[in-house]
Amino acid sequence: MNPKSVTLIGLGPMGQAMAGAYLDGGYDLTVWNRTPGRADQVVARGAKRAASVEAALTANDLVVMSLTDYDAVFAILEQAPATALAGRTVANLTSDTPGRAREAAAWLAERGAVQITGGVQVPPPGIGTPEAMTYYSGPAVAIEAHRPALEVLTGIDHLGEDPGLAALYYQIGMDMFWTGLLGYVHAQAVARANGIPAEQFLPHAVKTMDFRYFLEFYAPRIDAGAHQGDVDTLTMGAASLEHVVHTVEASGVDASLPAAALAVFRRGIAAGHGQDSLTSLIEVLSRQ
């Protein structure tokens, strides 16, 4: 087969960006999507529309999948006979849990295919840009065999052979991403309630959300289990959050988000960590 050829299954916003990157890179691209009309734009640019899932799978050695979740992955792949997967490498860039990634890798292996699990670390506009990166896990030999095609989309951060690792790292990142951005959105609701435009507050938001100092300070202490409160304490944090909750309520904004954070701090204090660092909440949040 043509070494510059690939099959792409899934043409949501991320899939559309990936299709564009492959077409821009001169790749022979075959596409399939559950809603056929979503392929119209990339077909107009030169992609081939597969008539079926089987046709999409057998068109190329490398199959890239970008779907909502692994339920969608199984629903689509089960439409084709197992023989259509034999010898294929499936770069599964679908978001789901580490367990589902391992399940899919085993399912594909039973059908003679190899899964490379991926967690894309950029939004669709970042596909194909120099700084873009994707977590990958799975067989190194499979990644190396398809490195040029994968690097059309993003750089490669190979975490190891375990197919669940990329999904695990990705979900840990999403934990930070969504909770962090939700905090920003909530804070801007408070700002707007007090007549402060988001653009006006923007430089302060950027400065406040630069957590690098704290991340680098906390990481070795977390690994060492050292939660001494020499810089911050849960008692201090709880007092600060109480002020946040009162300010939010006085602004007429829903205070459930900071109140939930305050409740976690109070749990830590009740567990005897009042004079320990914020990082002591790892012990409180971890299931024993």
**Per-residue pLDDT tens digits for 81-133:** 999 999 999 999 999 999 999 999 999 999 999 999 999 999 999 999 999 99
The pTM for the full model equals 0.93
pLDDT at 1: 59
Question: What is the set of domains in the chain, with CATH numbers?
Answer: 5-162 (3.40.50.720), 169-285 (1.10.1040.10)
- Whole-angstrom distance, CA of residue 192 vs CA of residue 237: 25
User: What is the rounded distance in angstroms from the CA atom of residue 160 to the CA atom of residue 173?
Assistant: 17
User: Given this model, what pLDDT does residue 3 score?
Assistant: 73
Below-50 pLDDT ranges, the chain: none
According to the model, what pLDDT value does residue 221 have? 96
3-class secondary structure, 247: helix
Above pLDDT 90, what percent of the chain? 98
Of 62, 67, 68, the residue nearest 91 (C-alpha): 62
Pairing type for strands 48-49 and 114-120 reads unpaired
